[in-house]
Amino acid sequence: MTKIISFPSMGWSRIAFRALFEKLPGVTVFPPPPVTRDIVKMGAKISPEFVCFPFKVTLGEFVNMIENHDIHTFVMSIDCGPCRLGFYAPIQEKILKDLGYDVEIIPIQQDDLLNFKWTKTLLQLSNVTNPIMKYYDVIRCTRLALVKMSYIADITRLEGLIRCREIHKGDTTRVVKNLMDQLDNEWDLQVLHHFDKVIQTAFAKIRIKHDIEPLRVIVTGENHIVMEPFINMDIVRKFGEEGVEVHLANSLYGWILHKLHINAERKKLEKLSKPYIPLDIGGEAIWVVGHYIEGQNQGFDGFIHLYPFTCMPENTARGILEGQSPDPFYLPIQFYSIDEHTGYEGMRTRLESFIDLMNSNRQGNPKFQNKYREPSEIKAIYDKKVPLTNHSPLFSEVLTPFTNNLNILISELFNMKATKQNTKGDRNT
């Protein structure tokens, strides 16, 4: 028997979520429709007033798929940490059942991916009886999801760096859409292991303005708010169209590496933020503070913090950042507290004023002058041709995927080792 399932979209992350389940025997995936104003209204109407905004959005997505697409089974992540995300699945299922909906929300555990509790959900959904083949399918689906997650992170990073440089407005948006569609519909792992060349080739076709020094901002905050463009009013695109280089700090791939305990970048951020927030209190709070300190040290022009209106961890991070301003924290920061009442025009007005402030600092404040550094990705794409692949079939089909996976693992392990050594050295001093 085949089970039709779906899940919340969370922007382009839906591509990776689909990859995790699509090739699982016994499962048919219904890709979630894009979030709309009507979906947000549906979720807000039946949710507790002061619950997290992502709770309302994802609940609205479930209602939309039940009523309009006859989907009744959903997969939702749960956690046992300090964030309220861990309670979404059971509470949402109870609300929907109390309203008379025939629904099943299957939880997938993400508190610590190394305990492999998350595989129980995949094994439960599979209709294969042979245990060896069952685990083979889980491993293959996991590989597909991880590979696609990594490329989603690469594409969205390049999007933020290149849109501010494009000569013809809209080129970056079209390239990103085409790449994401191509990634979503590609299921051959051998082809996917060369998809980085496809990404570089596609972006290299965009005509850009060279030798410019655009304003630079970091955009970070709560994961769902940052990664769902409808919810954050597509703030990354808006900044880019205004000529600002955007460094998007959040990605699903980074989060998964963190849950696998091999995200050296997050460990570095935890070290930076420790004097101000010594432990994980939920959300992205501890890493938001770390990103702010790192951005200030690297000479960024501004910092954007996106978070749900009632998110206590993110509000705590905001209080810490405001409490240390202007000394030692002087990097301009703009907070966006988002819920179902947030409007585009108000956000657009604040954003344009913030750009004026950053321009003023760049022109008249020594702390923000002569700080710009061109991202290495720009030089890699536009200052040299993307090499073509002329390897033998054996190399392409067997050795390349193996070496790619091995290189990723080795780099992460060495980054972790370096981080631990630095931490130990600091303690000794």
The structural domains of the chain, with segments of one domain joined by +, span: 3-143, 389-428
The top-level CATH class assigned to 3-143 is alpha beta
* Residue 219 contacts residue 249 (beta carbons within 8 Å): yes
Nearest to 340 by CA among 59, 71, 126, 142: 59
- How far apart (Å, rounded) are the C-alpha atoms in residues 361 and 302? 10
Q: In a 10 Å sphere around its CB, with 0-12 CB exposed, 13-18 middle and 19+ buried, how is residue 63 labelled?
A: buried
* pTM given for the model: 0.89
How would you write the pLDDT of the chain (429 residues) with one tens digit per residue? 789 999 999 999 999 999 999 999 999 999 999 999 999 999 999 999 999 999 999 999 999 999 999 999 999 998 877 788 889 999 999 999 999 999 999 999 988 899 999 999 999 999 999 999 999 999 999 999 999 999 999 999 999 999 999 999 999 999 999 999 999 999 999 999 999 999 999 999 999 999 999 999 999 999 999 999 999 999 999 999 999 999 999 999 999 999 999 999 999 999 999 999 998 898 899 999 999 999 999 999 999 999 999 999 999 999 999 999 889 999 999 999 999 999 989 999 999 999 999 999 999 999 999 999 999 999 999 986 544 444 434 344 444 455 555 555 555 555 555 555 555 555 454
- How far apart (Å, rounded) are the C-alpha atoms in residues 390 and 393? 9
